Amino acid sequence: MFEPDGIAPDKEKIAALLADESRQEELFQQADSVRRRYVGDAVHLRGLIEFSNICRNNCMYCGIRCGNKQVCRYRMAEEEVVATACRAADMGFKTIVLQSGEDIYYTSDRMCRIIEAIKKRDVAVTLSIGEREYKEYKAFRDAGADRYLMRIETTDKDLYHRLDPGMSWQHRYECLLMIRELGYELGSGIMVGLPGQSIESIAADLLFLKDLRIDMAGIGPFIPHPQTPLAKEKGGTLELSLRTMAVMRLLLPDINIPATTAMESLHPDGRIKALRAGANVVMPNVTEGEYRKLYELYPGKAGADETPLHSRSIIGEKIKSIGRTIGTGYGSRRRTDVAARS
């Protein structure tokens, strides 16, 4: 079905693989074996802190869009973010992911203080706080941030502009280029099953992510949220999301690929299925208390009523039960291509 080390970046072939439900098991097995060969059996855990659900954007799909007046908004104090991160470090997490809505209360100075405090611990820090200016991205990097996640969501520009009113696809792309240029490990990704998104468009997304030379790809199904304009839409399936993720593994054999929470939300074993179809990273939620339920990007978010320790132990057991190990290092992307050797 494929060449031994992946597949050619050919849009038609990719679209055919994405569409082929009858051969998906074969695809998953191939992605699993490429994953094992390139990044090994270790599953890297990232502790995810959702530190603010305040957002200036109004994305049609997202539960915390600014137009959703039913959300109870919260914003964690600097010390609270740092304390949560330290507890996650105490639990053994080697990467802390700081995610929020696009909340400009967290100025460059505030974010830098948080990053510097967390970097006193032996952890990698990943930011996922959206579009900022170059000087801010630079300040965060200088403060010690190692990685940045920002999904492009879709490369269909018309679709993007319909779904993300007031935002610019080009601007988002330019932010991703700045982040890469500043030497962050770069994570991006897409949603699968957006209304009006075709298979060909998903194939183009995967090629875009390859060209962007990302280090991490987050791929998850779109799940309609009842308090958004897309409430009545169908949403993406777990199967197509898994096929998309598996093809991503074949296109970029040595990157980090998380088994996403959205996958787990569609099926109780969604993340395990993902780990057996190309994924090598899991991002357990370490947000504490009431905040967890309030960061509702989509309904039925897996783990919303668990505690951090509980989330960590459930996923740890599941990982071991499928014969995989838990990564003990930072789990940075290790390039195996020419760029790594030169």
CB neighbour list of residue 326: distance below 8 Å, 6 or more residues apart: 42, 43, 45, 316, 319, 320
Residue 153: CB minimum distance to ligand 5AD, A: 5
C-alpha radius of gyration, the chain, whole number? 19
Residue 64: CB minimum distance to ligand 5AD, A: 8
Pairing, β 185-192 against β 42-45: unpaired
Distance CA 308, CA 88 (A): 8
Residue 288: CB minimum distance to ligand 5AD, A: 19
CB neighbour list of residue 75: distance below 8 Å, 6 or more residues apart: 51, 52, 54, 103, 105
Whichever of 178 and 238 has its CB closer to ligand 5AD, that residue is 238
Residue 102: CB minimum distance to ligand 5AD, A: 11
- Is residue 294 within 8 A of residue 76, CB to CB? The reply is no
What DSSP character marks residue 191? E
Residue 125: CB minimum distance to ligand 5AD, A: 17
Residue 336: CB minimum distance to ligand 5AD, A: 27
Whichever of 117 and 192 has its CB closer to ligand 5AD, that residue is 192
Residue 59: CB minimum distance to ligand 5AD, A: 7
Whichever of 30 and 244 has its CB closer to ligand 5AD, that residue is 244
Pairing, β 47-52 against β 124-128: unpaired
Distance of CA 338 to the CA centre of its chain: 26
Can you read off the two tokens belonging to residue 339?
């760029």
Distance CA 54, CA 48 (A): 17
Whichever of 221 and 331 has its CB closer to ligand 5AD, that residue is 221
Shortest-Cβ-distance residue relative to ligand 5AD: 298
Nearest CA among 290, 292, 298 for reference residue 68: 298
Whichever of 140 and 222 has its CB closer to ligand 5AD, that residue is 222
Query: Which residues lie near ligand 5AD (CB under 6 A)?
Result: 61-62, 151, 153, 191, 220, 222-223, 225, 262, 297-298
Whichever of 34 and 194 has its CB closer to ligand 5AD, that residue is 194
β-sheet bridge partners, residue 43:
326
Whichever of 7 and 274 has its CB closer to ligand 5AD, that residue is 274
Distance CA 177, CA 148 (A): 11
